[in-house]
Chains A and B, each alone.
Chain A
Amino acid sequence: MKIDIQCTVFDESSTYRLRDLCRLCSVRAQFVQDLIDEGILSPKGKHPGDWRFGAVEIKRLQISIRLQQDLRINLPGTALALDLLEEIEELRQKKLQLEKIYALEK
């Protein structure tokens, strides 16, 4: 069976409200609040009604759910793991760039 599907891209320009986030990820608002208190999510806006979440926060939220369920990591541990994963990703990109320059010089 072949179907042609249009898709939604979560890019840097898209923002989501609390209720969009809860619906997209099937979580309760309290869970989102817990992640905000832990510094895992940092929405723009002061009050829950004004909160705007970016695409990267959907990703962080979903990874948080999986890490907690699959590896029984608690919230502070999840926050640490997410930060370290991001740092590894940045370093990996830098390494690739440097390898390209080095390959040229050789």
Chain B
Amino acid sequence: MEFKDYYTTLDIKKDATQDEVKRAYRKLARKYHPDVNKAADAEQRFKEVGEAYEVLQDTEKRAAYDKFGSNWQSGQDFKPPPDWDNGFEFQGGGYTEADSSQFSDFFESLFGRQSEFSHQDPSQGRQAPFYGKGQDLHAKISISLEDSYNGSKQTLTLQRPTVDASGHVRTTPHSLHVTIPKGVIEGQRIRLEGQGAAGSHDGANGDLYLEVTITEHAHFSVDKRDIHLTLPISPWEAALGATVPVPTLGGTVELKIPAGSQTGKKMRLKGRGIASRTMSGDQFVTIAITVPTPENDEQRELYRKMKETMLFNPRTTLGMSS
């Protein structure tokens, strides 16, 4: 087990006042709250900050932690001495509303576990404690845009709190094979019934919610069910019109570019977006004219000829005469 330096976690000095502890915690809790912060490690940081606060906000627990904590470095292998909490009384009291089942083994070895249903505030609107339904768990799942279009099978490993025979809550890794249907889009959620935390007193298991994130694609960007693609075309394709191949998630299709098209022109490929059983989307293609760099005298001559023949001033809208 690794020693955890709770002062470093909250970024405060060892002699910080209780007010400073509170302020540091509140600031970091807002910063790392997983609903607010999209970074991958936000949830982990949020839990660490909560655990540090659980200890440091309580003067008894803090005093006990300080008593031996000064000799240890963060990450160092650690085992608490058997009589380390002599003279302190904090078992079963002074806990915050944080979910202690998410705390580390380090915390548990020092302070034990909070009784599961204590400190539930009825005004918060959660009914779970009354019939002992297990807690709902939330996790994120990243899938590729191709998986979103086609559907996929995913394996995920979650840390799941379970209650062992002696009534202790432990987190155990848990592998799930999930079939994700086609047409799941960014921000949507998937509910896996009964895959949350175990219930107590014969209560049902909680549910597991997976929030879907679509990983960034090399060419396509996605807006809900619609796919956006910027399609490079040559100046002569834009000027004269052409039929060009366009990649879509369902394979290459032919797109007719009308003569006289400009950069920024948007065209729609109907029904080529992300479709579920009941909904469908489109693919939008935005044209970007790509100008070739002349590489020899013959090509440079071609540009000079255009200059003389076209007599083109692209800046008339700016009031420039040339």
Interface residues of A (CB under 8 A from B): 1-13, 24-28, 30-31, 55, 58-59, 62-63, 65-71, 81, 85, 89, 93, 96-97, 100-101, 104-105
Contacts and interface: CB of A to CB of B under 8 A. Distances in A.
A6 B179 contact: yes
B189 interface: yes
A9 B185 CA distance: 10
Contacts of B278: 11, 13
A81 B288 contact: no
A13 B279 contact: yes
B223 A97 contact: yes
A67 B97 contact: no
Interface stretch (B56-64, B86-94, B170-178, B247-255): B170-178
A70 B33 contact: yes
Nearest to B187: A89
Main secondary structure of the interface of A (DSSP, over half): helix
Given A71-B33, A97-B221, A7 B190 contact: yes
Given A26-B127, A96-B221, A62 B209 contact: yes
Interface string B58-87: 000000000000000000000000000000
A66 B36 CA distance: 11
B35 A26 contact: no
Interface string B189-201: 1111101000000
Contact of A27 (B126, B174, B290): B126
Closest 3 pairs between A and B when the two form their complex, measured CB to CB: A31-B125, A13-B278, A27-B125
Interface of B: 26, 29-30, 33, 35-36, 46, 97, 124-128, 133, 136, 138, 174-181, 183-185, 187-193, 195, 207, 209-210, 216, 221, 223, 228, 230, 232, 276, 278-279, 286, 288, 290
B276 A11 contact: yes
B279 A63 contact: no
A37 to B, nearest CB: 14
B279 A10 contact: no
Given A25-B136, A85-B35, A96-B221, 9 more contacts: A2-B177, A5-B179, A8-B191, A28-B127, A58-B189, A62-B138, A63-B35, A68-B124, A85-B36
Contact of A104 (B46, B176, B230): B230
A101 B286 contact: yes
Given A8-B190, A31-B125, A68-B124, A26 B36 contact: no
A26 B126 contact: yes
Contacts of B192: 5, 7-8
Contact of B30 (A12, A58, A71): A71
A10 B189 contact: yes
Question: Taking each of B29, B125, B185, which has the highest tally of chain A beta carbons within 10 Å of its own beta carbon?
Answer: B125
Nearest to A68: B124
A25 B36 CA distance: 20
A1 B35 contact: no
Nearest to B263: A105
B250 to A, nearest CB: 20
A13 B127 CA distance: 28
B126 A9 contact: no
B288 A105 contact: yes
Nearest to B124: A69
B140 to A, nearest CB: 13
B183 A7 contact: no
Contacts of B216: 96
B236 to A, nearest CB: 19
